[in-house]
Amino acid sequence: LSGVVGDRLNVGPEGPLWLLRMQNPSAFAFCASRLVPGTGEEGWLRAVKGLGRDAATAAIVDLKDLEPFRGEISEGSVEGLIVRPGRVEFDVTANGPNSAFVAVKQSWDEGWRARVDDVFAPVARTDLSLCGLLVPPGRHHVALVYEDSWVAAGLLVSMTGFAALLVLPLAPPLQLRPP
In this structure, are residues 82 and 88 in contact, taking their beta carbons and an 8 Å threshold? yes
Does the pLDDT at position 2 exceed 50?
no
- 72: confidence class by pLDDT, cuts 50, 70, 90: confident
Helix, strand, or coil here: 167? Answer: helix
DSSP string, 91-138: EEEE-SSSPEEEEEEEE--TTEEEEETTEEEPPEEETTTEEEEEE-SE
Does the pLDDT at position 17 exceed 70?
no
In this structure, are residues 101 and 37 in contact, taking their beta carbons and an 8 Å threshold? no
Q: How high is the pLDDT of residue 3?
A: 43
Q: What is the mean pLDDT of the chain?
A: 83
**Strand pairing report for 59-61 and 35-37:** parallel
Q: How high is the pLDDT of residue 170?
A: 77
